[in-house]
Amino acid sequence: MFQAVEADTLPPLPETPFVLARWSSAVVGPDIHIKVGRTLYSVPWKLIGRRVDVRSTATMVQVFLDGDLVKTHAALDQGKRTDRSDYPPEKIAFQMKTPIWCRTQAGEVGDACREVAEALLEVNALYRLRAAQGVLSLRKKYGDGRLEAACVGVQVDVALARFP
């Protein structure tokens, strides 16, 4: 009966197989990440505090806000997947100001400033990176001359802090 009546009326099977997906919702945390299963995924920083819908497959995680796709990540079993472009501009600027950048900028200010930056970045450079960036940010407010003069005064203190 099937061959005689119904077989010709059925459309062909789709070319791609059906993909199983799981839907969930999450709130974007202050660190720009949402938790999906055992993994953290970044979303654009403007969505902090907002509730988003998440579609997860075995290979992909899609994030939707009010029905619009806002982010796509390759799926991970666990861990953290962060897209640096999701951070606000001031956070991206922090990540761009690397220890190499700090040393170059400090050298432009003067020898004393360069030595302070070198002392700060000599051990645990990433841990002390914010301190070196803070010293160099004083250039905008006080200028190179005053910053260099201030670094002459703190040069000994930085050296002593390295060798307690």
At 72-109, the pLDDT tens digits run 999 999 999 988 888 887 676 556 677 888 889 999 99
What's the token pair of residue 13?
A: 């099977």
Residue 107: alpha-carbon gap to chain centroid: 28
At 4-24, the pLDDT tens digits run 888 888 888 899 888 899 999
The pTM score is 0.54
- The pLDDT, as a whole number, for residue 158 is 46
pLDDT at 157 over 60: no
At residue 70 the predicted structure's pLDDT band, cuts being 50, 70 and 90, is very high
Q: Provide the residue type at 84 as one letter.
A: R
- The pLDDT, as a whole number, for residue 99 is 84
What's the token pair of residue 126?
A: 């990433």
- The pLDDT, as a whole number, for residue 164 is 42
| Residue 91 · residue 106 · CB < 8 Å | no
